Amino acid sequence: MRHPAVPTGTQRPGTRRPGGRTARTRAAVRDAVLTGLAEHGYPGLTVEYVAERSGVHKTTLYRRWGGVEELVADALDLAGEDAWTPPDTGGLEGDLRALAREVCDSFSDPEMAAAPTAFIAAAFQSERAADALRAFYAERFARCETVVERAVARGEAPAGTDAGAVVRAVSAPLFLRLFVTREPVHAALADQSAAATVAAVRAGAFMPPTGTGQATDGPSPAPTRTPDP
Amino acid sequence: MRHPAVPTGTQRPGTRRPGGRTARTRAAVRDAVLTGLAEHGYPGLTVEYVAERSGVHKTTLYRRWGGVEELVADALDLAGEDAWTPPDTGGLEGDLRALAREVCDSFSDPEMAAAPTAFIAAAFQSERAADALRAFYAERFARCETVVERAVARGEAPAGTDAGAVVRAVSAPLFLRLFVTREPVHAALADQSAAATVAAVRAGAFMPPTGTGQATDGPSPAPTRTPDP
């Protein structure tokens, strides 16, 4: 997981003052990047725009971030530093349904959707943005895995279930429709995905590969998560 | 499904000569668009580039297509006019595994992946490209539904299974990793997705909404495909 204290990766004076000038500057720059991405998309975002919008001088932006790619990547790093936790409804299907509905709801609201959509688009054009997006979702989905761990503890899912694959599987049909097939998403689709994922979990379809197709003597003590590196 | 005989949507002389000059021109233009998208991406694609690469005069491109958006959309329409059929392995899990592996293989090969990736990226920046992508995948996934229909006929899946949702669900975890979370995909992941989807189908999780959460008197004779409009 990456949470660089400063965007350039070098420790600078002031970095460790929480809520101080550095943090405020970074947040102002992040807000300007999000607005710029939402308004113009990645191809239209410029350091000049971020400078004007944030009130941070252009030379400061170049010196401390480097350029547009680094500005976008840092905004994404900062977005990952929130206190979000996955839903806890008391049951696996309820939790997965809530997770899927959250994807559905946040991308159905044009205002909420603008920045994350722009990040996903930017990753097509910038390796640096793609790296930041990968780190963002790796950490976000790692948080989601709690949902599956709790289900295992409750006996709702077999021990050794590939939690990372499960939380991705329940969200995937929504992301597919939003960003590939460009179809509408809605709550019924989220619920269908949750029902399908729970059925697959119960059937043991998310066990590590040794458990799905080949004979095995029992659950491995430390399952290899091959399908989800 | 859209297969406009001419890109501008207006019938013109020569349109109906299969394999004639019009078809050859359109194919040459399509090839130039694909190369341009693969090399420069949507933001870098220009009518000038397509003219130079295809040997078709710029004014012809403007007159018959309109501009870059229409050129990209038409290239996608043409891509949808292939003879591709879904795999037929004799069983649902084999068919879904082959479908998922095909997604995996085609996007893992940089040369094969370049054009479809560029189309998916272009849809973020152009409504016209998004419409064409939607039509492309709607038609492509409709072809895939045969796989589920055959499974129903063999008794491997409940009658009334939402075929469109099933074929999307099996591909979705791969598309999610390729274009959102930016994680690697591989055959084991395709197989895991196929196993999960088959388990969900068998459990009846892909029945229309009335069958998933509420009591029902039996399968509807003409199931409403609400989750997958």
Reduce the secondary structure of B63-113 to three states and give it as a string. HHCCCHHHHHHHHHHHHCCCCCCCCCCCCHHHHHHHHHHHHHHHHHCHHHH
Q: Which CATH architecture has domain B21-79?
A: Orthogonal Bundle (1.10)
Asked whether residue B2 carries a pLDDT value surpassing 80, the answer given is no
Asked whether residue B203 carries a pLDDT value surpassing 50, the answer given is yes
Interface probe, candidates A46, A175, A176, chain B, greatest B C-beta count within 10 A: A176
Q: Do B227 and A189 touch (CB under 8 A)?
A: yes
- Longest Cα–Cα distance of chain A, Å, equals 64
Residue A19 has a pLDDT of: 59
Residue B223 has a pLDDT of: 37
Residues 6+ apart with CB under 8 A from B36: B44, B45, B46, B49, B50, B53
What six digits make up the tokens of B135?
Answer: 């039509």
Asked whether residue B206 carries a pLDDT value surpassing 70, the answer given is yes
Which residues of chain A, if any, have pLDDT below 70? 1-20, 209-229
* Cα gap B129→A108, rounded to integer Å: 20
* Mean pLDDT for chain B overall: 84
* Cα gap A39→A88, rounded to integer Å: 35
Q: In A86-208, which residue ranges form alpha helices assigned H by DSSP?
A: 92-108, 110-125, 127-153, 163-179, 187-202
Distance in Å, alpha carbon of A14 to nearest chain B alpha carbon: 32
Residue B42 has a pLDDT of: 86
Radius of gyration of chain A from its Cα atoms, rounded to whole angstroms: 20
Residue percentage of chain B with pLDDT more than 70: 82
> Is-contact B101 B190, C-beta < 8 A?
yes
Closest CA to B200 of A170, A175, A100: A170
CA nearest to B165 within chain A: A173
B164: confidence class by pLDDT, cuts 50, 70, 90: very high
Residues in chain A with CB shorter than 8 Å from the CB of B121 are 121, 124-125
Q: Do B179 and A179 touch (CB under 8 A)?
A: yes
Closest CA to A76 of A16, A21, A26: A26
Higher pLDDT, B8 or A97: A97
Dihedral sign (CA A87, A92, A96, A98): negative
pLDDT tens-digit map of A142-157: 999 999 999 999 999 9
pLDDT tens-digit map of B18-39: 556 788 999 999 999 999 988 8
Dihedral sign (CA B97, B100, B102, B107): negative
Q: Do B203 and A205 touch (CB under 8 A)?
A: no
Residue A58 has a pLDDT of: 96
Residues in chain A with CB shorter than 8 Å from the CB of B182 are 123, 130-131, 133-134, 137
Residues 6+ apart with CB under 8 A from B80: B1, B3, B135, B136, B139, B140
ipTM passes above 0.95? no
Higher pLDDT, B192 or B224: B192
> Is-contact B223 B208, C-beta < 8 A?
yes
Residue B5 has a pLDDT of: 26
Q: What angle do CA A73, A76, A80 make, to 5 degrees?
A: 140
> What fold characterizes domain A92-211?
Tetracycline Repressor; domain 2 (1.10.357)
Residues in chain B with CB shorter than 8 Å from the CB of A199 are 199-200, 202-205
Residue A172 has a pLDDT of: 98
Q: Which CATH architecture has domain B92-212?
A: Orthogonal Bundle (1.10)
Residue from the list A125, A200, A212 with its beta carbon closest to the beta carbon of B200 = A200
B131-167 b/e (C-beta count within 10 Å ≥ 16 → b): bbbbbbbbebbeebbbbbebbbeeebbbebbbbbbbb
Which run of H or of E encompasses B217?
Answer: none
B209: confidence class by pLDDT, cuts 50, 70, 90: low
pLDDT tens-digit map of B121-156: 999 989 999 999 999 999 999 999 999 999 999 999
Residue B156 has a pLDDT of: 97
Domain extents in chain A: 21-79, 92-211
> In the predicted model, what is the mean pLDDT of residues B164-181?
98
Confirm whether A21-79 and A92-211 share one CATH topology: no
Residue B13 has a pLDDT of: 38
Distance in Å, alpha carbon of B74 to nearest chain A alpha carbon: 17
Q: Do A227 and B124 touch (CB under 8 A)?
A: no
Contacts of residues B16-22 at CB distance under 8 Å and 24 or more positions apart, as own/partner, are none
φ, ψ of residue A159 in degrees (nearest 5): -60, 140
Residue B40 has a pLDDT of: 85
Residues in chain B with CB shorter than 8 Å from the CB of A124 are 41, 117, 120-121, 124, 179
CA nearest to B203 within chain A: A199
Q: How far is CA A26 from CA A54, A121, B56, in A?
A: 9, 22, 50
